[in-house]
Chains A and B, each alone.
Chain A
């Protein structure tokens, strides 16, 4: 059986269900008793203030506190309101949390989940709009999840909370606030990390898109179909681990690869996938890889400029056409 839920509901239900299931799970973050965007709304009524902990405003210390609790038997779910603010916690995120297991010789795993909202489109300019996923791909020991559908959001978040590894969980604001809904299984379910979904099968080109960009890629696929180009849209669902097998099985069929992310171009996730393509799968390619990403400028506040800044279905169509210019 399945039912229709919103992306927001998916996140909320995942936390509530895991809190019911396991008393060591608790939620903390700035204003979580109210719910800044609404993900944690209602949890305090069911679980009480001790398990839904409003915190002071101090992101790095919050990440460290969540990690410390995770080292000693709890499963904290920390909300860092905006991923821009997660940059205030970079010592804990990049230098510490992901490396505790290793530096302790496996003695101190750190089962913490850190949820953070990403993405632009709300005219909030430079510091509340970024997609900074690629800032974290260099840090060893972190799982990075970025769901695009309510079913995935719920299943992946439940997996994150149960995981013995630290997981950074990216929630796009347009998915949270745009009322995006979809079918999700009834009852308790989890979703494995590192398993991509083929959102639309196709034979001519492979488009790998993350998070909200999956919807832009699907729109692009529709437009391209009208021109006789049949693209396959792959949603990796987790950035680390990355489902290379599904991506490159598709490239084996299509010979053409386009990556799409809302984050910036330089050193982005697309750069990593393109490097994999060149280094490990070069023989599969009939054309150079194209990357769709944001330009290397701050996110502008003006509606006109922000719309120009953001990757969208049109820029994806353009990139797909470029991979047909050769070969």
Chain B
């Protein structure tokens, strides 16, 4: 599925929104106005939007802790994200999940707490889709660091063994938390591991929304047609530290300079100008519009009510007497 003008514009807007939301998050933390730490994905927006935009509403997405990209990409409302981030009662988890974002209406289960606990949950979701013949695809979005978790192998193995409709989408952003990838991997690429389970894979430029989107769309089509799982590795670079408490000092300036030349939003903008879909004037307007959309969503979350003591012990179990 080629990235037509309409989809490209939509993806570009979402990339701008993701960056606006994360920049605002960073600013609010710096100003001491919020407590929730951030794991930002600046520089990776083409991947997070590229993996989520080709999905149908009913498809299942297991996302990562890094920023809001894939959640915006699949259609989450920034206000819902921020109400939850701030632990408000109006959040989709009633403020009980904060950064463990969830949206049942979009088939986005919560972000798990232990990196990779959801490898196998994606297998189960794929099994449910297959057994119930729902025609859904599961997109499992994961960073390369989490590909070293013990469940990665068994999960790819089961997905292939049972021919499940799963796309394993690996975002190789060159860092595993606070280490360069080379400290964790004996190889430059991760996706070839999928071949060991008989899963077809490809490795693409993750900073180009076009290649990222099209590779995902191909994988999704493969999975939906009953051919079993597919794996895509997207090469990109994390322009932020692991999280807001990360002391840093380990990122090489030359890498930041080099990858900074290929910022995914700049690349998408150039593509839109080249295609004649967008003009610099319209782009400036669009950016202002999106910045105020982000501000409004965050302000709405500030204004929303917190949960109360009555909410503490609800939603633990349906069964009585377990507390």
Given contacts A61-B120, A92-B120, A105-B93, contact A69 B318 (CB under 8 A): no
B316 and A74 form a contact (CB under 8 A): no
Contact of B102 among A50, A105, A164 (CB under 8 A): A105
Which segment of B2-10, B148-156, B214-222, B274-282 sits at the interface?
Answer: B148-156
- Cβ contacts B155-172/A at 8 Å (1 or 0 each): 101100110000000000
Instruction: Collect the chain A residues with CB atoms within 8 Å of residue B118's CB.
Output: 64, 68
Closest to A72 in B: B128
Which segment of A95-103, A181-189, A208-216 sits at the interface?
Answer: A95-103
A69 and B151 form a contact (CB under 8 A): no
A26-B127 Cα distance, complex, nearest whole Å: 11
- Cβ contacts B93-126/A at 8 Å (1 or 0 each): 1111100101010010110111001111111111
- Cβ contacts A166-206/B at 8 Å (1 or 0 each): 00000000000000000000000000011000000000000
A64-B92 Cα distance, complex, nearest whole Å: 23
Instruction: Collect the chain A residues with CB atoms within 8 Å of residue B97's CB.
Output: 103-105
B158 and A65 form a contact (CB under 8 A): yes
B321 is an interface residue with CB less than 8 A from chain A? yes
B96 and A103 form a contact (CB under 8 A): yes
A105 and B128 form a contact (CB under 8 A): no
B60 is an interface residue with CB less than 8 A from chain A? yes
Q: How far is the CB of A125 from chain B (nearest CB, A)?
A: 25
Q: How many residues of A contact B (CB 8 A)?
A: 48
A62 is an interface residue with CB less than 8 A from chain B? yes
Closest to A66 in B: B124
A45 is an interface residue with CB less than 8 A from chain B? no
Which segment of A52-60, A288-296, A297-305 sits at the interface?
Answer: A52-60
A27 is an interface residue with CB less than 8 A from chain B? no
A95-B116 Cα distance, complex, nearest whole Å: 12
A242-B321 Cα distance, complex, nearest whole Å: 7
Q: How far is the CB of A184 from chain B (nearest CB, A)?
A: 23
B132 is an interface residue with CB less than 8 A from chain A? yes
Q: How far is the CB of B29 from chain A (nearest CB, A)?
A: 22
Instruction: Collect the chain B residues with CB atoms within 8 Å of residue A81's CB.
Output: none
A100 and B154 form a contact (CB under 8 A): no
Most chain A beta-carbon neighbours within 10 Å: one of B121, B127, B319: B121
A26-B161 Cα distance, complex, nearest whole Å: 18
Q: How far is the CB of B246 from chain A (nearest CB, A)?
A: 23
A109 is an interface residue with CB less than 8 A from chain B? yes
Given contacts A72-B125, A73-B128, contact A104 B110 (CB under 8 A): yes
B112 and A96 form a contact (CB under 8 A): yes
A140 and B121 form a contact (CB under 8 A): no
User: Which residues 16-63 in A have Cβ within 8 Å of B in the complex?
Assistant: 24, 26, 50, 53, 55-56, 58, 60-63
Instruction: Collect the chain A residues with CB atoms within 8 Å of residue B113's CB.
Output: 95-96, 103
Q: How far is the CB of B136 from chain A (nearest CB, A)?
A: 8
B151 and A72 form a contact (CB under 8 A): no
Given contacts A62-B120, A165-B318, contact A107 B93 (CB under 8 A): yes
Instruction: Collect the chain A residues with CB atoms within 8 Å of residue B93's CB.
Output: 103-105, 107
Given contacts A65-B121, A71-B125, A76-B124, contact A55 B158 (CB under 8 A): yes
A67 and B315 form a contact (CB under 8 A): no
Contact of A105 among B151, B162, B315, B322 (CB under 8 A): B315
B94 and A106 form a contact (CB under 8 A): yes
A61 and B123 form a contact (CB under 8 A): yes
A234 is an interface residue with CB less than 8 A from chain B? no
A65-B319 Cα distance, complex, nearest whole Å: 23
Q: How far is the CB of B107 from chain A (nearest CB, A)?
A: 8
B91 is an interface residue with CB less than 8 A from chain A? yes
Q: How far is the CB of B96 from chain A (nearest CB, A)?
A: 5
Instruction: Collect the chain B residues with CB atoms within 8 Å of residue A67's CB.
Output: 120-121, 124
B124 and A194 form a contact (CB under 8 A): no
A143 is an interface residue with CB less than 8 A from chain B? yes
Most chain B beta-carbon neighbours within 10 Å: one of A60, A63, A109: A60
A163 is an interface residue with CB less than 8 A from chain B? yes
A53-B124 Cα distance, complex, nearest whole Å: 12
B131 is an interface residue with CB less than 8 A from chain A? yes
Closest to B62 in A: A68
A37-B132 Cα distance, complex, nearest whole Å: 30
Q: How far is the CB of B322 from chain A (nearest CB, A)?
A: 5
24 A-B pairs (CB sep. < 8 Å): A61-B150, A61-B151, A63-B120, A64-B123, A64-B155, A65-B121, A68-B121, A68-B122, A68-B124, A69-B127, A71-B125, A74-B131, A74-B132, A91-B114, A95-B114, A96-B113, A102-B96, A104-B92, A104-B100, A104-B110, A141-B317, A163-B319, A165-B318, A193-B321
Q: Which 5 A-B pairs have the closest CB atoms?
A: A68-B124, A64-B120, A68-B121, A58-B154, A105-B93
Instruction: Name A's B-contacting residues (CB within 8 A).
Output: 24, 26, 50, 53, 55-56, 58, 60-74, 76, 91-92, 95-96, 100-109, 140-141, 143, 163-165, 193-194, 240-242
Instruction: Name B's A-contacting residues (CB within 8 A).
Output: 60, 91-97, 100, 102, 104, 107, 109-110, 112-114, 117-129, 131-132, 150-151, 154-155, 157-158, 161-162, 314-322
